Amino acid sequence: MAKNKDKKTNVDLSEAKPKKGFFKKMFASKAEQKKIMQIINNKKIETLFFYTDVNNLLIILENGIQLIKEKSIDKDEEYVVWTYLEHEESIGLEFDTSTRAHFWKWATNSNVDVEKISVIGINPHKLAEFSKNDWAFDSVKKIVYVYETIPVDAIEYIMIKDKANLKRIQTYVDANDIKIDVFYGESGNIEKKEKK
C-alpha cells in the first residue's frame, strides 16, 4: 500500500489525493508534479509504464487510461481491472528505470497470465502538459499516482506479448491514424526505438 506522511496520518496515495491547504492550492497547484518531473529529468527517465490486460487496449485507445470510477463500457465489452495500478481515484505509473519487482511479485501472486500483459509507455512530458491535477509519488515503490484520465496523446508505445492481439491493435492504431508505436515484446523487455 502506498503511504505518505501527511500531518502525522497515513494517506493511501492510490485512493486519495494528498490534502492541500488553501494557499498551496492557489500558489502551488502542481508542486508535486514539478518535483516528480525534476526526478524524471535528473534520472533521465524517458517513459512511465502502465501494465494492463491486452484485452483492455482497444478501450484505452478509444478513451485513454481512465480511473475506475470513470469507466463506462458497453454490454458487449469487458475491461479487466488489475488492482496493482488501477484504482477508483488514481492510476499508478512506474518509472522505466524501475526493476518492476513489485509488479511481477503482484502478477505472480495474482496468477496473471503473463502472455496477456501489455506494457503501455507514457511520455511524462506530454502527460504533464495534459494534466490538470497534481500528481503524487510513492518513493518506496517508485510509483507516480495520477488522479485523472491519461489521454491517448500521452501514450508513446504499446508492447504486446500476445501475437494474436498484436495485429488487431496495430490495425486499429493504423486505421485511426494514432501516433503510437505498437510492437511485439517476446521477452517482456522494452526495446527503445530510435528517435527520428
pLDDT per residue as tens digits for the range 7-64: 434 666 666 666 655 444 444 578 899 999 999 999 999 999 999 999 999 999 999 9
pLDDT surpasses 70 at 5: no
Three-state secondary structure call for residue 122: strand
Question: Average pLDDT in the 76-94 region?
Answer: 87
CA angle at 118 for the pair 163 and 104, rounded to the nearest 5°: 120
Domains, the chain, ranges and CATH?
20-184 (3.20.170.30)
From CA 24, how far away is CA 149, in angstroms rounded?
23
* The pLDDT of residue 71: 85
Residue 26, phi-psi category: left (phi > 0), alpha (psi -120 to 50), beta (remainder): alpha
